[in-house]
Each structure stands twice: as structure tokens, then as C-alpha cells.
Amino acid sequence: MSTQGGRVVINLATGHEDADRVTVAFLVAVAALEKGRPVAMFATKEAVRLGVPGYAEAIESAGAPPVSRLSAQFAELGGELLLCPVCFNTRKLDPEQLTAGARLAGATPLWEWIGDEPATVFSY
């Protein structure tokens, strides 16, 4: 993938409880991927559930595309969903059942993904 600009990190800490934030996070992520920017979404707290198949199906914000569609676009365009392992394990989720593009990855793997160049960060 050719990149136009640096990497983008999106920190997302909410799930079903705030459909608007989840929707905006995925809209920003997909737009960046469409511009050729590598994107990692770092999911913490309830957002780790986005790495579980079917969870995104129930998240919709009025007037916006469904999160299930945005999540699929995110994965298809090469976005990486980095799930906080502490948050994931605390919720007793199954690491053998992850969506496409999702993996358990904490702070060190996030920093490794970012590398030495500056990154643009969005937090929702």
C-alpha cells in the first residue's frame, strides 16, 4: 500500500453505549484508509468487543452508515484493529474468535506499529 502522509491511530474506548463515537471513529478511519494512510484503531474498555464477530451489527447512529458496514470496509481496506489485551481478557472474551483485521495488542505493539515517524491521533 502506498502511503500519502503518516500513520493514523484512532483510540476508541466505547462500544454500544455510544454509537455516535463508534460511528465517527470508523468514518474517520475509513476516510484515512481511502487516502492511503495506514490506520490502526486501538480499542480499549468496551470497544474491545468490536473485535468479536457480530458485536458491530447492533451499533447504528441515526443517519449514518451502520457500523457493521464501516467495520467491514475498515478491514477490507487494511485497517488494523488492535485490542487491548487487559481489557479483552477482563471481559472474558474468546481470543480464538476475532473479526478480520483484529488482534490482541497492547501498548508495546502499538508503539511498534507507530514506529519512529510522527502519527496523527484521534481519540473517541
Distance from C-alpha of 5 to C-alpha of 62, rounded to nearest angstrom: 32
Superfamily of domain covering 7-123 = DsrEFH-like (3.40.1260.10)
- The single-letter code of the amino acid at 18 is D
Q: What is the pTM of this model?
A: 0.93
State pLDDT tens for residues 8-59.
999 999 999 999 999 999 999 999 999 999 999 999 999 999 999 999 999 9
- DSSP characters for 10-41? EEE--SGGGHHHHHHHHHHHHHHHHTT--EEE
State pLDDT tens for residues 89-104.
999 999 999 999 999 9
Domains of the chain by residue range = 7-123
